[in-house]
């Protein structure tokens, strides 16, 4: 470092060390490049900081960002006043969302990559094909499943895309509520199977130890590393090379570019509040769809007065959020054995039966469903549950062990009006404008919600539930799934997209965005596996092509026999 606060240049800086940044750190450092990874949160260790403490993780939000220090605002349309709300919270720490996620890691379907070709224009939506297809990503899906650690039952999912290798770990055994789900699906002729999870099991091909100390996975850190996270897999792999450095508790406030639009590095604030300039040949943004868009909009310059690489005006637009909705079933405790949702695992069994479009349902698209426990003892999820007094105690005693939930990942349609921009009034702890999320469900989202949750009710009734409580999509997304896609869309036309097929900015060639921000459509599956595979694919390109001074285009073969009306 010299006296000006400018640090010696490295090959690559990565901003955000979650599902997008972790694979890139591993790939680039193993290729011999010098890499620095920034994360605005701490570097937590699973043995020291994580446990099954419900109050710590649920009620005191140990892993989620403090809304007083790092708020977001949300509104339903441009004419509404935004309010502060912890929308789509993702942990601010090394590992990002992989630190707290429940662990669902299903693959996307081939149809996800050609959604507009399959369905054409949808009024009010901005459907687009991806600039690559399933076959281009499949090798990287396999790499992640084996290097990260995914359990699953090979061949169990009907209609799945091809796979080049089986899962490295057998699936988790079914819980009691999982068995009830499987029995009900069998009655209804629904293809149900153990969903792929980032929880390894015994005798896995990776040689890793598998210990399950708590079933309370969602919002919790795993104290055993049985559930894979970026902080226990890709980050250690990168550090072993000697080419990678983690700078935790370091907030990146701006990407610096010259007058030609070439990124020179980043400006960041360390944990002591000291500002530095870190120069690099390549800048990778992987903060999550919301914060990547925000940082780009904050990074204004003479070349990019409206934000980094925002020549198209699309940075922040077409954001999608995957609302999690569900139905709860209650069972008669006098005639049903306890389901014991607190044992085993949070999720146990799911289906992709309703994933592909069937226009007889009144909507296009679909999503994954899964059966789960109803939450933790203090924070059980039961609509209408009394909140205090004897009635609350009776409800806990009578229903906690005699209930289950079937949830659904809503594949919301991209809309240009659903977006991330900078709030003109609210600032974060560093004095910078926070992300403002504008969102309103598309009519297709509402129709999909109602059809699928009604189907989930039917499955619960087939399982023996004596009462069901459906929860449908509301007038706004709440961000409750913590899934973020879109906002910095990939595409082949620079007028209609921000990035190309490698996550590379059209107008700032050494800037790459390697999280879910580039996804043109939301898919109907949890995005983490796809984000990691996408990051690995793009990082391979950076290491083997871009940093070697070359370019390469992905060849898309003409689509045939789509059957579109």
Query: Could you tell me which of 410, 525, 548 has the C-alpha nearest to residue 137?
Result: 525
pLDDT (mean) for 429-442: 97
Query: Could you tell me which of 233, 180, 200 has the C-alpha nearest to residue 536?
Result: 233
pLDDT (mean) for 101-109: 95
pLDDT at 2: 40
pLDDT (mean) for 437-466: 98
Q: Indicate the DSSP class of residue 172.
A: P
504 in Cβ contact with 282 (< 8 Å): no
Q: What is the pLDDT of residues 148-192, one digit of tens each?
A: 999 999 999 999 999 999 999 999 999 999 999 999 999 999 999
Specify the pairing of strand 192-193 against strand 347-351: antiparallel
pLDDT (mean) for 8-17: 97
pLDDT (mean) for 294-304: 98
pTM, rounded to two decimals:
0.97
Average pLDDT, the chain: 94
pLDDT (mean) for 435-457: 98
Which of 14-28, 158-172, 381-395, 450-464 is predicted with the least confidence, judged by mean pLDDT? 381-395
274 in Cβ contact with 234 (< 8 Å): no
Q: What is the pLDDT of residues 516-539, one digit of tens each?
A: 999 999 999 999 999 999 999 999
CA distance 308 to 135: 31
DSSP 3-state assignment of 536? helix
Q: What is the pLDDT of residues 113-140, one digit of tens each?
A: 999 999 999 999 999 999 999 999 999 9
pLDDT band at 216 (very low <50, low <70, confident <90, very high): low
Q: How many other C-beta atoms lie within 10 A of the C-beta of residue 270?
A: 14
Q: What is the pLDDT of residues 233-242, one digit of tens each?
A: 999 999 999 9
Strand partners, 265: 256, 279
The per-residue DSSP string of 56-89 comes to IIIIS-SSS--TTTS--EEESSTTSPPEE---S-
pLDDT band at 250 (very low <50, low <70, confident <90, very high): very high
pLDDT at 563: 57
pLDDT (mean) for 351-377: 95
How much of the chain exceeds pLDDT 90, in percent?
85
pLDDT at 475 over 60: yes
Contacts of 406 (CB under 8 A, 6+ apart): 181, 326, 327, 329, 369, 370, 371, 372, 456, 459, 460
Which of 350-359, 374-383, 487-496 is predicted with the least confidence, judged by mean pLDDT? 374-383
pLDDT (mean) for 434-452: 98
515 in Cβ contact with 19 (< 8 Å): yes
Q: Which residue has the higher pLDDT, 442 or 172?
A: 442
Domains in the chain with CATH codes:
156-195+324-409+441-475 (3.30.410)
pLDDT at 565: 45
17 in Cβ contact with 95 (< 8 Å): yes
* Tokens linked to 513: 């965005």
pLDDT band at 255 (very low <50, low <70, confident <90, very high): very high
């Amino acid at each position: 470092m010299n006296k000006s606060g400018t640090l010696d240049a490295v090959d690559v800086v990565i901003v955000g060390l979650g599902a997008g940044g972790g694979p890139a750190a591993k790939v680039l450092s193993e290729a011999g490049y010098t890499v620095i990874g920034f994360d605005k949160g701490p570097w937590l260790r699973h043995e020291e900081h994580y446990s099954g403490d419900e109050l710590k993780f649920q009620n005191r939000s140990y892993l989620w960002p403090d809304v007083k220090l790092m708020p977001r605002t949300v509104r339903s349309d441009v004419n509404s006043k935004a309010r502060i709300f912890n929308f789509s919270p993702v942990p601010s720490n090394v590992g990002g969302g992989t630190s707290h996620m429940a662990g669902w890691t299903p693959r996307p379907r081939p149809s996800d990559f050609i959604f507009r070709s399959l369905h054409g224009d949808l009024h009010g939506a901005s459907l687009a094909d991806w600039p690559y297809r399933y076959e281009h990503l499949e090798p990287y899906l396999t790499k992640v499943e084996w290097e990260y650690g995914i359990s699953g039952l090979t061949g169990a999912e009907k209609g799945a895309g091809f796979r080049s290798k089986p899962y490295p770990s057998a699936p988790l055994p079914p819980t009691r509520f999982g068995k009830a789900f499987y029995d009900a699906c069998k009655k209804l002729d629904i293809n149900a199977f153990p969903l792929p999870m980032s929880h390894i099991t015994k005798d896995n091909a990776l040689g890793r130890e598998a210990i399950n100390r708590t079933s309370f996975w969602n919002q919790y850190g795993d104290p055993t590393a049985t559930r894979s996270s970026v902080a226990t897999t890709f980050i250690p792999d990168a550090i072993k090379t000697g080419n990678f450095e983690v700078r935790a508790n370091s907030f990146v406030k701006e990407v610096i570019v010259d007058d030609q639009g070439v990124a020179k590095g980043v400006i960041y604030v360390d944990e002591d509040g000291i500002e530095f300039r870190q120069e690099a040949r390549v800048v990778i943004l992987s903060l999550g769809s919301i914060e990547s868009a925000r940082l780009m909009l904050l990074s204004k310059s003479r070349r990019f007065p409206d934000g980094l690489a925002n020549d198209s005006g699309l940075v922040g637009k077409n954001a999608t959020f995957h609302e999690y909705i569900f139905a709860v079933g209650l069972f008669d405790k006098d005639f049903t054995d306890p389901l014991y949702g607190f044992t085993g695992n949070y999720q146990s069994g799911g289906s992709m039966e309703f994933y592909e479009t069937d226009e007889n349902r009144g909507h296009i698209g679909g999503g994954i469903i899964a059966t789960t426990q109803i939450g933790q003892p203090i924070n059980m999820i039961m609509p209408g549950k009394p909140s205090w007094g004897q009635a609350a105690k009776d409800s806990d005693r009578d229903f906690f062990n005699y209930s289950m939930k079937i949830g659904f990942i809503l594949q919301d349609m991209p809309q240009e009006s659903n977006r991330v921009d900078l709030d003109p009034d609210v600032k974060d702890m560093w004095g910078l404008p926070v992300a403002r999320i504008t969102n309103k469900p598309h009519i297709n989202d509402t129709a999909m919600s109602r059809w699928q949750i009604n189907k989930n009710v039917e499955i619960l009734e087939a399982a023996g539930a004596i009462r069901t409580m459906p929860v449908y999509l509301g007038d706004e997304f709440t961000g409750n799934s913590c899934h973020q896609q879109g906002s910095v869309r990939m595409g082949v036309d620079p007028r209609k997209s921000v990035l190309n097929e490698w996550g590379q900015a059209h107008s700032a060639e050494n800037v790459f965005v390697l999280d879910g921000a580039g996804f043109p459509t939301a898919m109907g599956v949890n995005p983490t596996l796809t984000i990691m595979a996408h990051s690995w694919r793009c990082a391979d390109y950076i290491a083997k092509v871009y940093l070697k001074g070359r370019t390469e285009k992905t060849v898309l073969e003409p689509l045939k026999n789509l059957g579109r009306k």
